[in-house]
Amino acid sequence: MTRSLTVLVVDDEELVGKRLTHVLSRMGCQVEAFDEPRTALSRIQEKEFHLVITDVIMGEVDGIQVLEKVRARWPQSKVIMITAYAMMSMARKAMDLGAYDFIAKPFVPEEIRTVVTRAARDLGFDLTETGQQSE
C-alpha cells in the first residue's frame, strides 16, 4: 500500500505558498498551504503532517512558534524553516529547537526538492519529482 507524504506550508506571502505547493505537488506530496499562521496552527492542532514548511518571520505568529507547536504536538513530524532574513543566530536557535533544516530565501526549487526528498527518506518515503512514491 502506498500513501502520500503530507505537507503543511505556512508563509504569509501567498505567492511563496503557491510556488511551494506547485513544486511539492509535482513530487507527489499532499499539500495544504496557509498564509494565515493562526489558521495553520489550528490545522496543526487537529492533523498530523509528515512535514511542515514554515516561514520564520510572519506578523504576530512566527515560525519558531510553529516549530515549537509541531514539536510538542507531533514529535515525529519534520519542520523545515524558510526565511528571507536568515541569520546565524536564528539558524542555530531553530536547529536547537528541533528544526530539520533551515533554508534562506530566495531559494531555487531544486533546493527545496533536495531537502524534502531527504526528509521524506528519513520518514520512510521514497519521493521522485514525477509524483511516484512508495513507502
- Which residue type is seen at 75? P
Question: What's the min distance (Å) between Cβ of 2 and other proteins?
Answer: 28
* Contact region with other proteins (CB under 8 A), list: 22-30, 38-46, 96-104, 124-132: 96-104
What sign has the CA pseudo-torsion 93, 69, 52, 20?
A: negative
Contact 103, 115 (CB under 8 A): yes
Selected range binding other proteins among 8-16, 25-33, 109-117, 121-129, rule: CB under 8 A: 109-117
Residue 96 touching other proteins (CB under 8 A): yes
Q: Which is nearer to other proteins, 30 or 109 (by Cβ)?
A: 109
The answer to whether residue 11 forms part of the interface with other proteins (CB under 8 A) is no
CA dist 125 → 16, 21, 105 (Å): 25, 18, 26
DSSP H helices in the chain: 14-26, 37-46, 63-73, 88-96, 109-122
109 binds other proteins (CB under 8 A): no
Residues lying near other proteins in the complex (CB under 8 A) are found at 86, 88, 91-93, 95-96, 98-99, 101-104, 106-107, 111, 114-115
